[in-house]
Amino acid sequence: MSSSNVEKLVIIGSGPAGWSAATYAARAQLQPLVYEGAISEKNRMAGTLPLGQLALTSEVENYAGFPHGNLGAFLDSALPAERRQMMAPHAGEGVTGPELMELMRQQAVNFGTRIVTDDILKVDFSKRPFMLQPVDGPAVFAHCVIVATGASANWLGLPSEERFKNRGVSACAVCDGALPRFRNQHLVVVGGGDSAVEEATYLTKFASTVHLVHRRDALRASKIMAQRAHDDPKIKIHFNTALAEVLGDDAKGVTGVRLESTTEPGKGTTLDAAGVFLAIGHTPNTGFLDGQLELTPKKYLVWKKHFRTDTSVEGVFAAGDVADDYYRQAISAAGTGCMSALDAERWLAAQGA
């Protein structure tokens, strides 16, 4: 194969890690090619659409550089009209996840990043140049790869949850919460972390009451978020409680839930509800790697060097939530995205590539 057919750097993934890596790599003249993921129903259900998890959230209050304020005019000037039209008008509050992601994407494009809107199905990291097989089109070869595929939402695995997916059961309040079926209804959110509180708070815009169902006696969420849930008159927290079954029928979809106590066996209750939103953590998107890179027991990519983004295969780097089961913040993902591009640049230079 002639070296002109080989990409210098392919980045897989399009969350904060992928775009930060792309911006740094493009400025280092590595001509990065980003596979941002496919726009498909399969990816919608799995929470792996382009732009990552942040595109599934509402306001982002803790990303440095984006205080509360009116960013509308800036967004209008910074993004191409056709992409701006797809987004809700700026609400005058903190930047939203989709806005932040579009801005990051545009910043990478401005420096020459090329983008393919497709998934990488499989890879061969056993020899160089590395091979990446997209869903559509021929295999792509690359001297260096950054894996920034993030993580996607977990499900409980209940048969009734599966039965009512898309008919009242969802793992993304921001995607689905505004649907007419949820207006002025009782809704259930399962989980006790920041995501659960964020989803519950968001759903109070539409619901009459949001029931936050958590298996333990205290929220895992950060103090400020937990306090927000406790203080919100529309949120009712059910501690020491698990979702046992989603109730409903084929005509109406979800009509309620059966809850069970996690501390008192046999004790439970049923609630009327039009929707159930799962917010019980995430699983890293590493399945397509088919065991070719070392993973932790929880399937996260392992960084092999201290404070470096090297994976177990030389020339393959990892950034963002796919390699982070601890911080999992947009800003830390962006930070490791930057690190991975610098690591890639130095590694490529050492190879003379």
Structure tokens at 37: 């993921």
Asked if 196 touches ligand NAP (CB under 6 A), the answer is: yes
Size of the site for ligand NAP (CB under 6 A): 18
| Pairing state between β 33-35 and 6-12 | parallel
Interface residue with ligand NAP among 18, 192, 275, 284 (CB under 6 A) is 192
Contact flag: residue 238 with ligand NAP (CB under 6 A): no
| Binding test (CB under 6 A) with ligand NAP, winner from 122, 165, 205, 220 | 220
- By the rule CB under 6 A, 194 interacts with ligand NAP: yes
- Is residue 172 a contact point for ligand NAP (CB under 6 A)? no
Answer yes or no: 176 catalytic. Answer: yes
Task: Rank residues 109 and 221 by Cβ distance to ligand NAP and give the closer one.
Answer: 221
Question: Is the CB of residue 230 less than 8 Å from the CB of residue 220?
Answer: no
215 binds ligand NAP (CB under 6 A): yes
CB count, 10 Å around CB of 222?
13
Alpha-carbon distances of 34 from 199, 303, 305, rounded to whole Å? 30, 21, 25
**C-alpha to C-alpha distance for 9 and 54, rounded to whole angstroms:** 24
Regarding 281 and contact with ligand NAP (CB under 6 A), the answer is: yes
CB contact set of 115 (below 8 Å; sequence gap of 6+): 14, 33, 34, 36, 105, 109
Residue number, 151 or 313, with CB nearest to ligand NAP: 151
Q: Which amino acid makes up residue 248?
A: G
Nearest-CA neighbor of 132 among 288, 348, 345? 288
Answer for which of 328, 338, 339, 347 binds ligand NAP (CB under 6 A) is 328
Q: Which residue lies nearer to ligand NAP by CB, 301 or 348?
A: 301
Q: In angstroms, how far is the first alpha carbon of the chain from the final one?
A: 15
DSSP conformation letters of 28-88 = TT---EEE-----HHHHHHT--TTTGGGG-SB--SSTT--SS--HHHHHHHS-HHHHTTSP
Residues of span 49-68 touching ligand NAP by CB under 6 A: 62
Q: Pairing state of beta strands 140-147 and 6-12?
A: parallel
DSSP calls for 240-289: TEEEEEEEEETTTEEEEEEEEESSSTT-EEEEE-SEEEE---EEES-GGG
What part of residues 261-280 is at the interface with ligand NAP (CB under 6 A)?
279-280
Question: Out of 119, 144, 172, 310, which one is annotated catalytic?
Answer: 172
For position 158 contacting ligand NAP by CB under 6 A, the verdict is no
- Is position 163 an interface residue for ligand NAP (rule: CB under 6 A)? no
Q: Which of these segments, 71-79, 96-104, 119-127, 191-199, binds ligand NAP (CB under 6 A)?
A: 191-199
From the list 31-39, 165-173, 212-220, 289-297, the region that binds ligand NAP by CB under 6 A is 212-220
Interface with ligand NAP (CB under 6 A), residue from 50, 150, 168, 193: 193
Least separation, in Å, of the C-beta of 191 and ligand NAP?
4
Name residue 298's amino acid: K
- Decide whether 143 or 215 has the Cβ nearer to ligand NAP: 215
Nearer to ligand NAP by Cβ, of 331 and 342: the residue is: 331
- Cβ atoms of residues 259 and 269 within 8 Å: yes
Q: Which residue's structure tokens are 């090619």?
A: 33
Binding site for ligand NAP (CB under 6 A): 62, 156, 190-196, 198, 215-216, 220, 279-282, 328
Residues with active-site annotation? 172, 175-176
